[in-house]
Amino acid sequence: MLYWNPTYECMDRDKLVELQNERLVNTVHKVYQNVPYYRQKMQAVGIMPEDIKTVDDLKKLPFTTKQDLRDNYPYGLFAVPLSEIVRIHASSGTTGKPTVVGYTKQDIISWSELMARTLTCGGTVKNSVIQIAYGYGLFTGGLGVHYGAERIGASVIPISGGNTKRQLMLMKDFGTDVLACTPSYALYIAETMQELKIDRQKFKLKYGIFGAEPWTENMRKEIEQKLGVSAIDIYGLSEVIGPGVASECQCKDGLHIFEDYFIAEVIDPETGESLPYGKEGELVFTTINKEGIPVIRYRTKDITALIPDQCECGRTHIRMKKIIGRTDDMLVIRGVNVFPSQIESVLVEIGDTEPHYMLIVDRINNLDTLEVLVEVSDRLFSDEVKRLEDLNKEITRKIHDTLGLAVKVRLVEPKTIERTEGKSKRVIDNRKI
Ligand SMILES: [Zn+2]
């Protein structure tokens, strides 16, 4: 099966825009009436709901940020009474209070629909056995995928993250053909497989549905080759709905944004100005078909660009490029914008290194320094010193070519850099700014 819901996924563009306009007008009226936060913000800039008639008018509305959600903790941005909310999720939030989101019964149905579309994009069908190794709980990953897979009617293994040996055992015994988890965990599973000398041929794995953190094209190749799957990138965030905001199709050339539910914009993160198609900037979402906690122009902090051209798969929904980084993760080193993903691309391209690395930023005598720790294979470490030196030089030169920045590269033995089973930490910034 190619599509889950062709009526919407392949909708004529003019009709789609008409639907967006109608739903946007509806949403703006609703939040104005029911959420004091939005009413006050609109009043402050002198905008009434009647001023918003089409998607083009969206620019008139103020942005919403994660901080706004925190300031209205826990339920301040809900647009319905708590009695209508059937599910509450919250972001992990490393400091202070989490950001809280709520779903009505209808929102759960919508979310399941969006995830059914996403999983279908990734190769999941009714006969699939899908192992969900995303975390279950307050995090939206596990339950989001779960509901979509059940909607399709696939056989769901709700194993959650961690306990990799057990994951592998069940994957083999239960005949899992679809694996859903973070890309870094997929790689960790693949590594464990190799370490335990498990024969991949005994597995039925065919498809991978990976998201919740940015990953590169090279990392995809690595995972596909090591796990023997076709891997797609999925995108979402709890503030917008969870996973199910956008998904790659099997063309793997950008992620389709489900535009009958979300309007996407890309803005300049410094000035807030809207950017034209194709320009990289911060991704902003407005939800237009959500009841519990609709968001207006929510700033995701993710950096991407929109691709308006029609995709070969037949879906008409606009695509976004794979996320290249976060406005938060963007390191400014000696005036140069650096995303960890750029360094990762260089490393995987060179090969001979494991895609495990760590960036250490420091400031010595008022000068920013960037040290790149890279794990290399056992084989190389037992090899002659000269080969290590050559590799070090090659990485240093290629990073310099890519970023225009001189860095110090240090090759380390396998498993030196700490592994995580969830999202990976790639940067240590020791600068006291
Ligand atoms: Zn497509």
Across 101-122, b (16+ Cβ under 10 Å) vs e yields bbbbeebeebbbbbbbbbbbbb
pLDDT level of residue 354 (50, 70, 90 thresholds): low
State the CB neighbour count (10 A cutoff) for residue 284. 24
- Is the pLDDT at 339 greater than 90, yes or no? no
Q: Residues of the chain with pLDDT > 70: what percent?
A: 97
pLDDT of residue 348: 80
**Residue 232, token pair as written in the block:** 């797609």
Angle of CA points 263, 284, 75, to nearest 5°: 90
- Is the pLDDT at 270 greater than 90, yes or no? no
Read off the pLDDT of each residue in 416-428 and give the average, rounded to a whole number: 73
- Is the pLDDT at 95 greater than 70, yes or no? no
Place of tokens 């991949």: 200
Place of tokens 């902090």: 301
Tell how far the Cα of 310 is from the centroid of ligand 1, in angstroms: 8
Tell how far the Cα of 145 is from the centroid of ligand 1, in angstroms: 20
Read off the pLDDT of each residue in 10-38 and give the average, rounded to a whole number: 98
Determine phi and psi for 124, rounding to 5 degrees: -80, 130
Tell how far the Cα of 2 is from the centroid of ligand 1, in angstroms: 10
- Is the pLDDT at 422 greater than 60, yes or no? no
Tell how far the Cα of 3 is from the centroid of ligand 1, in angstroms: 10
Bin 335: left if φ > 0, else alpha if -120 < ψ < 50, else beta.
left
Tell how far the Cα of 211 is from the centroid of ligand 1, in angstroms: 17
Q: CA 59 to CA 57: how far, in whole Å?
A: 5
- Is the pLDDT at 286 greater than 90, yes or no? yes
3-class SS of residue 29: helix
Tell how far the Cα of 233 is from the centroid of ligand 1, in angstroms: 12
Round the average pLDDT of the chain to a whole number and report it: 92
pLDDT of residue 345: 79
pLDDT of residue 155: 98
Read off the pLDDT of each residue in 8-16 and give the average, rounded to a whole number: 98
Q: Are 228 and 125 in contact (CB under 8 A)?
A: no
pLDDT of residue 227: 96
**Helix 183-195 with 164-173: angle, nearest 10 deg:** 80
State the CB neighbour count (10 A cutoff) for residue 274. 14
Tell how far the Cα of 318 is from the centroid of ligand 1, in angstroms: 9
Read off the pLDDT of each residue in 242-248 and give the average, rounded to a whole number: 98
Read off the pLDDT of each residue in 279-286 and give the average, rounded to a whole number: 94
- Is the pLDDT at 12 greater than 60, yes or no? yes
pLDDT of residue 215: 86
- Is the pLDDT at 1 greater than 60, yes or no? no
Q: CA 354 to CA 274: how far, in whole Å?
A: 38
Q: CA 344 to CA 356: how far, in whole Å?
A: 8
Q: Lowest mean pLDDT: which of 73-87, 327-341, 358-372?
A: 327-341
Q: In Å, what is the CA distance from 210 to each residue of 133, 187, 288, 372? A: 10, 11, 26, 26
pLDDT of residue 15: 98
pLDDT level of residue 172 (50, 70, 90 thresholds): very high
Read off the pLDDT of each residue in 205-225 and give the average, rounded to a whole number: 92
Question: 330 CB contacts (<8 Å, ≥6 apart)?
Answer: 303, 337, 338, 339
Q: CA 149 to CA 132: how far, in whole Å?
A: 9
Read off the pLDDT of each residue in 264-281 and give the average, rounded to a whole number: 92
Tell how far the Cα of 307 is from the centroid of ligand 1, in angstroms: 11
**pLDDT digits 0-9 by tens, 56-69:** 999 999 999 999 99
Question: 364 CB contacts (<8 Å, ≥6 apart)?
Answer: none
Tell how far the Cα of 255 is from the centroid of ligand 1, in angstroms: 7
pLDDT level of residue 386 (50, 70, 90 thresholds): confident
- Is the pLDDT at 426 greater than 90, yes or no? no
pLDDT of residue 423: 53
Question: 22 CB contacts (<8 Å, ≥6 apart)?
Answer: none
Q: Lowest mean pLDDT: which of 101-115, 183-197, 411-425?
A: 411-425
Tell how far the Cα of 184 is from the centroid of ligand 1, in angstroms: 24
Read off the pLDDT of each residue in 385-401 and give the average, rounded to a whole number: 91
pLDDT of residue 353: 67
Read off the pLDDT of each residue in 211-237 and give the average, rounded to a whole number: 93
Tell how far the Cα of 249 is from the centroid of ligand 1, in angstroms: 5
Q: Which of 160, 180, 176 is nearest to 128 (CA)?
A: 176
Beta bridge partners of 104: 85
pLDDT of residue 165: 96
Q: Are 291 and 309 in contact (CB under 8 A)?
A: no
Place of tokens 């993250």: 161
3-class SS of residue 132: strand
Tell how far the Cα of 105 is from the centroid of ligand 1, in angstroms: 30
DSSP of 343-393: HHHHHHHH-SEEEEEEEEEEEETTEEEEEEEEEE-HHHHHS-HHHHHHHHH
pLDDT of residue 246: 98
Tell how far the Cα of 242 is from the centroid of ligand 1, in angstroms: 21
pLDDT of residue 97: 81
**Residue 302, token pair as written in the block:** 């993710």
DSSP at 291: S
Tell how far the Cα of 314 is from the centroid of ligand 1, in angstroms: 6
pLDDT level of residue 93 (50, 70, 90 thresholds): low
Q: Are 4 and 117 in contact (CB under 8 A)?
A: yes
Tell how far the Cα of 319 is from the centroid of ligand 1, in angstroms: 8
Tell how far the Cα of 33 is from the centroid of ligand 1, in angstroms: 37
Q: In Å, what is the CA distance from 272 to each residue of 19, 42, 375, 395? A: 26, 17, 39, 36
Tell how far the Cα of 13 is from the centroid of ligand 1, in angstroms: 15
Place of tokens 């339920």: 75
Measure the N-to-C terminal CA separation of the chain; round to a whole number of Å. Answer: 53
pLDDT level of residue 421 (50, 70, 90 thresholds): low
**pLDDT digits 0-9 by tens, 100-137:** 999 999 999 999 999 999 999 999 999 999 999 999 99
What helix, strand, coil percent values describe the chain, rounded to 5? 35, 25, 40
Read off the pLDDT of each residue in 242-264 and give the average, rounded to a whole number: 97
pLDDT of residue 380: 77
3-class SS of residue 156: strand
Q: Which of 133, 235, 147, 141 is nearest to 178 (CA)?
A: 133
Tell how far the Cα of 353 is from the centroid of ligand 1, in angstroms: 32
